């Protein structure tokens, strides 16, 4: 077994004599390459070893392979795929709050170990090192984008829930108005208003607020002051409450006392009015709402 020193001053081996002959034939080493046999502390040119003389002559002849520069080893036959993957995953850490960087760090370390053990047959050490460093940096910095991203996501989710609740209110408003139009302009007079307007809801699920208490069939109530009243009795449709949020319950009918104990939408309550529009009403405005026709 032998060790060799390449032009990059790195040590390769131990490798077998057959492997060295193959490298000579490929032009990766030549007679000037420093070589150390097993059990020896001295480094000598490869040309001083008689077992490689014939192979060196064949490589130096015009019919042989062109020899490499003195002391050189040719580039590795292939680049480590783990090294490339490590760098890619490390860079993606900026988009994944460091999640892919953790994998990139592990793959980078594994790639470095395999490259060092390949005796020059596997390349990509620079890529593996870069992937390891980049992955480590993004892991350290991950809390920063996470601290920025998560509140933004929570805010976006809250906004989406508010939009869904407002759409529910509008749909329930429309169902009650359509019911009245089909029943001599009268709002439901019974306490089962949810069942009465379900045929007008088109199979949707407008009774459930995304932010409401789980397990409730409905999170909305009907203004008790309008039970059995005619549409024409409402003097100010744009200011008169028709549907409003509650903590939950089916066929609920009542007034301001049924509003949620805690506002679900950034401190505001979703309220629908007789003219069909909906609003998010802050607690300071609740006293201004009109409940009488």
User: Domain with 23 in it: what CATH number?
Assistant: 3.30.1490.40
Separation of alpha carbons 243 and 73, rounded Å: 82
Q: Is residue 68 part of a domain?
A: no
| 186 and 231 co-located in one domain | yes
Q: Count up the domains in the chain and report the number.
A: 3
| 279 and 218 co-located in one domain | yes
| 190 and 254 co-located in one domain | yes
Angle between helices 53-60 and 17-26 (to 10 degrees): 10
Cβ-contact 103, 92 below 8 angstroms: no
Strand-pair category, 269-273 with 241-245: antiparallel
Separation of alpha carbons 38 and 177, rounded Å: 96
Q: Is residue 248 part of a domain?
A: yes
Give Rg (Cα) of the chain: 39
Q: Give the single-character DSSP code of 33.
A: S
Look at 68-82, 89-103, 164-178, 262-276 and tell me which has the smallest mean pLDDT: 68-82
Q: Is residue 161 part of a domain?
A: yes
What local confidence, expressed as pLDDT, does residue 65 receive?
47
| 191 and 281 co-located in one domain | yes
| 240 and 169 co-located in one domain | yes
What is the average per-residue pLDDT within 74-96?
Answer: 78
Residue with tokens 């003219």: 275
Helix (H, G, I), strand (E, B) or coil at 240: strand
- Per the structure, the complete domain to which residue 269 belongs is given by 157-288
Helix segments in the chain, DSSP class H = 17-26, 53-60, 81-92, 99-117, 125-141, 143-182, 193-197
| 230 and 283 co-located in one domain | yes
Q: Is residue 150 part of a domain?
A: no
Q: Is residue 70 part of a domain?
A: no
Q: Phi/psi at 186 (nearest 5 deg)?
A: -105, 135
| 170 and 282 co-located in one domain | yes
* Burial of 117 per CB tally in 10 Å (0-12, 13-18, 19+): exposed
Q: Is residue 71 part of a domain?
A: no
Q: Is residue 258 part of a domain?
A: yes
What local confidence, expressed as pLDDT, does residue 29 receive?
85
Q: Is residue 235 part of a domain?
A: yes
CA nearest neighbour of 107 among 91, 96, 120: 91
- Average pLDDT along the chain: 85
| 169 and 249 co-located in one domain | yes
| 163 and 280 co-located in one domain | yes
Beta bridge partners of 4: 12, 35
pLDDT band at 31 (very low <50, low <70, confident <90, very high): confident
What local confidence, expressed as pLDDT, does residue 64 receive?
46
Flag whether pLDDT at 70 surpasses 50.
Answer: no
What is the average per-residue pLDDT within 75-91?
Answer: 80
The angle at the Cα of 192, spanning 189 to 193, to the nearest 5 degrees, equals 70
What is the average per-residue pLDDT within 220-234?
Answer: 94
Residue with tokens 């015009």: 62
> What tokens appear for 50 in the block?
């008689």
Comparing 76 with 141, the larger pLDDT belongs to 141
Tell me the whole-structure pTM to 2 decimals. Answer: 0.51
Separation of alpha carbons 27 and 289, rounded Å: 91
């Amino acid at each position: 077994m032998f060790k060799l020193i390449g032009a990059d001053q790195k040590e390769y081996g131990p490798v077998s004599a057959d492997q060295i002959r193959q490298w000579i034939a490929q032009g990766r080493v030549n007679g000037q390459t420093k070589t150390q046999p097993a059990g020896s502390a001295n480094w000598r040119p490869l040309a001083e070893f008689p077992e490689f003389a014939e192979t060196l002559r064949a490589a130096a002849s015009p019919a042989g392979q062109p020899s490499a520069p003195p002391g050189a080893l040719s580039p590795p036959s292939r680049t480590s795929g783990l090294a490339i993957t490590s760098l890619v995953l490390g860079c993606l850490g900026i988009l994944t709050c460091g999640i892919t960087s953790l994998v990139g760090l592990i793959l980078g370390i594994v790639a470095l170990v395999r490259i060092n053990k390949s005796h020059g047959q596997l390349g990509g050490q620079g890529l593996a090192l870069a992937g390891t460093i980049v992955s480590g940096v993004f892991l350290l910095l991950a809390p920063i984008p996470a601290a920025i991203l998560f509140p933004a996501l929570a805010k976006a989710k809250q906004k989406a829930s508010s939009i869904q609740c407002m759409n529910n209110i509008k749909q329930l408003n429309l169902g009650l108005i359509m019911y009245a139009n089909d029943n001599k302009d009268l709002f439901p007079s019974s306490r089962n208003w949810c069942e009465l307007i379900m045929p007008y809801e088109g199979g949707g699920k407008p009774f459930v607020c995304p932010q409401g208490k789980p397990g409730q069939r409905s999170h909305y109530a009907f203004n008790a002051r309008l039970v059995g009243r005619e549409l024409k009795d409402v003097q100010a449709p744009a200011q008169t409450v028709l549907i409003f949020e509650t903590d939950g319950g089916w066929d609920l009918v009542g007034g301001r006392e049924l509003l949620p104990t805690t506002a679900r939408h950034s401190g505001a309550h979703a309220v629908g009015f007789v003219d069909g529009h909906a609003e998010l009403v802050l607690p300071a405005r609740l006293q201004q709402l009109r409940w009488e026709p």
